[in-house]
């Protein structure tokens, strides 16, 4: 009948397969502060668990343990999970699709890590998510894809984005526009730029187009595509002009070709004459004894 188990702040190194399988009523598990080196995706057995709250604050310093946790979550073993705490783990990036099999998740804490981006992270399917804490990370920008996912979460009411290293260049325009229209972000007035130096400390909500100087497109792939098209047009034009010049000067070119042919023929006849002289000893002696 055990429903809550707190093992935080110990020296646990491994959670083996089946270690928690004999706890059918377990709802809350706290493994925070343990230097885990191994976490079996089958720790709750083959049938899954009714677990609702899982705390792993400071327990995922080893990258292999993070991958094992992702495998456990993706397997559907914790489909009833409503609260997941992954703070204080120094995470840089999250495994792709890590949260896709958590339909009951309501609170997700990713604060105080070193996350530099969320491109691999999918929040789709988290229809019950109410709170998302991304504060105290190294996020420089949130891309359009991530913003679209956040807009599509109907229950999401609280998003923490404080104390991140926001890069205030042209790429941040979409984030600024979203911040101005949403009421999901807590303390959004306090969000400020960290880079570049000229924007340091400026509030994101007070940024406008003139601050970012985005008149020049920053979409490099489209610029390259345009350049290639322009180069193709120029080369085609040069080729057409070259063919036109050849056509207009066809008589002169034909005469020039005839002259070259005659010159080559005279040259070859000279070689042929010299060959005949060298091949006949009598002609050789004659040419050597005469002044002709």
Separation of alpha carbons 141 and 261, rounded Å: 70
Positions in the chain short of pLDDT 50: 218, 292
Domain boundaries defined on the chain: 4-216, 217-285
Residue 292 has what pLDDT? 45
Note the pLDDT of residue 119: 84
pLDDT for 177 equals 93
Residues 18, 170: Cα–Cα separation, whole Å: 50
- Long-range contacts made by residues 185-191, C-beta under 8 angstroms, separation at least 24? 185/159, 185/160, 185/161, 186/158, 186/159, 186/160, 186/162, 187/160, 187/162, 188/161, 190/162, 191/161, 191/162, 191/164, 191/166
**CA 18 to mean position of chain CA atoms:** 37
What torsion do the CA atoms of 205, 210, 215, 216 make, to the nearest 10 degrees? Answer: -80
4-216 CATH: 3.80.10.10
According to the model, what pLDDT value does residue 278 have? 66
Instruction: Output the pLDDT for position 276.
Output: 64
* Buried/exposed code over 48-85 (b: 16+ C-beta within 10 A; e: otherwise): ebebbbbbbbbbbebeebbebbbbbbbeebbbebbbbb
């Amino acid at each position: 009948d055990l429903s809550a188990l707190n093992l935080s702040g110990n020296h646990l190194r491994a959670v083996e397969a089946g270690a928690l399988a004999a706890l059918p009523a377990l709802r809350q598990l706290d493994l925070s502060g343990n230097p885990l080196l191994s976490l079996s995706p089958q720790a709750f057995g083959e049938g899954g668990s009714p677990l609702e709250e899982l705390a792993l604050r400071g327990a995922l310093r080893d990258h292999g343990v993070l991958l094992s946790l992702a495998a456990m979550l993706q397997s559907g073993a914790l489909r009833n999970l409503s609260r997941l705490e992954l703070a204080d783990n120094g995470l840089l990036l999250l495994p792709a699709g890590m949260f896709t099999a958590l339909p009951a998740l309501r609170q997700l804490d990713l604060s105080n890590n070193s996350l530099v981006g969320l491109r691999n992270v999918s929040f789709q399917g988290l229809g019950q998510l109410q709170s998302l804490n991304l504060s105290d990370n190294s996020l420089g920008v949130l891309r359009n894809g991530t913003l679209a996912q956040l807009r599509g979460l109907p229950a999401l009411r609280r998003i923490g984005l404080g104390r991140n290293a926001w890069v205030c260049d042209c790429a941040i325009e979409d984030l600024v526009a979203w911040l101005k229209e949403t009421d999901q972000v807590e303390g959004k007035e306090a969000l400020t730029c960290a880079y570049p130096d000229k924007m340091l400390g400026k509030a994101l909500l007070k940024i406008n187009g003139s601050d970012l100087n985005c008149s020049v497109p920053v979409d490099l792939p489209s610029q390259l595509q345009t350049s290639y098209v322009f180069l193709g047009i120029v080369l085609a034009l040069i080729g057409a002009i070259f063919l036109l010049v050849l056509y207009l000067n066809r008589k002169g070119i034909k005469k020039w070709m005839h002259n070259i042919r005659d010159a080559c023929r005279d040259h070859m006849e000279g070689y042929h004459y010299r060959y005949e002289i060298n091949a006949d000893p009598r002609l050789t002696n004659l040419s050597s004894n005469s002044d002709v």
